[in-house]
Structure 1
């Protein structure tokens, strides 16, 4: 997601911008159009009712008349464009903060590719855009017709009445139409806002290969790390096996577990585990012990307990003192020289 945002690929709903523009038009019609239109009407009335006051003998007179008309028209249109720009920019900024991304303006051949164009038109995004357009054209038109149906004949009669009455009537109808458009675009904008983000998250969903690549970038290659761990285990195992000939005794569970202990009074007060292993490693420890004349005692409960609780190169816990002391006493009684 961070990479996509840095490249300018952010969720953006055009319907929210359309709703903001519709809201700006409605605000303009309600708050600015009546007063601005009245001002423009008075200005044009002066021009047409008193044409003798406006001389057009020279080009300067013509320019002055045109500037006068455009100045009054500008006072009517400037608020309209300011509102459109303000609401349009605000709708874009509120969705995503602006950022400079040069990659978005670089030419890309897939934008003119017929295949890519076909996918955009007939893909999921194209169908969604078609559904939104269909809703705005059909549903909104139907609602407007239903809203104005009761005023149809009154609108026809207003065409033959006083111009000021026509303008007032048109203003009322326009307000009704804008309210319908505002509600309709609001519904579409809310739906499109959530759909755009859902579609954006779906498009960014990573494949298995992308997940693997991300793990490689953040934590390193799992294959290399597994290989390094395997090498480290092999080295530790070889170092441990090389310490077996220094052991005083081996406690074994016939074939599954083997614990090699070293006890010399001058080196410490308690036996130290110099090697331990399971299955094939346990058989290797037993074989080395037999080759070096090291006594092997078969005590399955003791072997399993010590294998689970004691680590290599550590002193055995006090809970095993009594059991191990009995074995050491047997060795001392039969082979006193092995204790030195």
Structure 2
């Protein structure tokens, strides 16, 4: 009763964090019918394109082996081993392609549903996996009963398909038996192709339905109560480590964007080592110079270094650099009280074209 009430209270869809945690723990939606469908597709490929030639080659070998046994020596143990190896190799050649197609199909079906990942928790030994009580509940519980109904429905659905497609199979077999052996082989091949194709079509319908159901059931199992959603949001917003990490990432991104803008500056005003302010002034862009970057200590030195690499004039003015640094934020125009001082620096740049660094005392 408590479990039913708990399920009824889970009315909210799973959050991205809940889904991500579930996937990391190895709890992902998985359809058991998809690998079966992939196996039938692999068998269909073999039957359509390779079965006839393979069967002809194997039949030719076996006919020689059965009709003319005197050609095979069996006088010693080595003769018996050689005969065994020959028969084994012929049969292996006939089935190795089928096995290869089945393996590739199974792996493809699993990868198609979920990206493979190693989850140590899933391979750890647990008593519940070998417990008779737990096994009894899995087999005869609600989930076991649902799986039984699914399997029964799958068998009935496939049987109905086969009945309508293969209802005249006995007549076709009788007609094929009175023809020549080669013709009868073609009849058998056509019936095998039709049989495998029919089962494959039925499995496509079943696997598609099971894929949708497994995804829906997985999301239903992950549903949360309103209180769980609130607790998760509170934890995400209130976690000091997470908030500190987010602030650090934001500062790093802002610093990277700021440094990338230094090469576009018109000039840099510096307080030799403590402050640096990069200004850009293009008459067509803004009415006044704009602070594109500023920094203290190591960042100030980095701004100067980038400016020197790009031949941007660097002016050392202690008072001006300190004042602009404290009063103007990045991507903002300087206020009117700095117009005259900055205009004088820009005039020096224009009048001394080619000079990379100047000092204002």
Normalised by the shorter chain, which TM-score bucket? Answer: 0.5 to 0.7
Q: Which residue of 2 aligns with 1:70?
A: 88
- CA RMSD, 1 decimal: 2.3
Q: Which residue of 2 aligns with 1:41?
A: 59
Residues in 2 aligned to 1:80 and 1:115: alpha-carbon distance in whole angstroms: 37
Residues in 1 aligned to 2:116 and 2:222: alpha-carbon distance in whole angstroms: 20
Q: Secondary structure at the match of 2:166?
A: helix
Report if aligned partners of 1:8, 1:104 keep a CA contact under 8 Å in 2. Answer: yes
Q: Per-residue deviation at 1:146?
A: 2.2
Residues in 1 aligned to 2:227 and 2:128: alpha-carbon distance in whole angstroms: 24
Q: Which residue of 2 aligns with 1:138?
A: 156
1:306-317 matched pairs, under 5 angstroms: none
Shift in alpha-carbon separation, 1:4–1:117, aligned structure 2, 3 A: farther
Residues in 2 aligned to 1:27 and 1:47: alpha-carbon distance in whole angstroms: 29
Report if aligned partners of 1:37, 1:76 keep a CA contact under 8 Å in 2. Answer: yes
1:12-31 matched pairs, under 5 angstroms: 12-31=30-49
Report if aligned partners of 1:13, 1:196 keep a CA contact under 8 Å in 2. Answer: yes
- Larger Rg over CA atoms: 1
Q: How many residues are treated as equivalent by the alignment?
A: 220
Q: Per-residue deviation at 1:49?
A: 2.6
Structure 1 stretch 22-31 or stretch 43-52: which is displaced more? 43-52
Residues in 2 aligned to 1:207 and 1:115: alpha-carbon distance in whole angstroms: 27
Q: 2:119 aligns with which of 85, 101, 113?
A: 101
Report if aligned partners of 2:172, 2:187 keep a CA contact under 8 Å in 1. Answer: no
Residues in 2 aligned to 1:121 and 1:78: alpha-carbon distance in whole angstroms: 39
Residues in 2 aligned to 1:165 and 1:107: alpha-carbon distance in whole angstroms: 57
Report if aligned partners of 2:176, 2:183 keep a CA contact under 8 Å in 1. Answer: yes
Q: Per-residue deviation at 1:90?
A: 0.5
Report if aligned partners of 1:158, 1:165 keep a CA contact under 8 Å in 2. Answer: yes
Per-residue CA deviations over 1:198-223 (Å, capped at 9, x if unaligned) read 111111112234324323421239xx
Which 4+ residue blocks in structure 1 deviate beyond 6 angstroms?
none
Residues in 2 aligned to 1:27 and 1:169: alpha-carbon distance in whole angstroms: 18
Per-residue CA deviations over 1:25-73 (Å, capped at 9, x if unaligned) read 1111111111111111111122223322211111111111111111111
Q: Which residue of 2 aligns with 1:264?
A: none
Q: Which residue of 1 aligns with 2:253?
A: none
Report if aligned partners of 2:161, 2:202 keep a CA contact under 8 Å in 1. Answer: no
Gaps of 5+ in 1: 222-340
Q: 1:150 aligns with which of 158, 168, 177?
A: 168
**TM-score normalised per structure 1:** 0.59
**TM-score normalised per structure 2:** 0.56
Residues in 2 aligned to 1:209 and 1:107: alpha-carbon distance in whole angstroms: 33
Q: Which residue of 1 aligns with 2:137?
A: 118
Q: Which residue of 2 aligns with 1:171?
A: 189
Structure 1 stretch 72-81 or stretch 173-182: which is displaced more? 173-182
Shift in alpha-carbon separation, 1:120–1:71, aligned structure 2, 3 A: closer
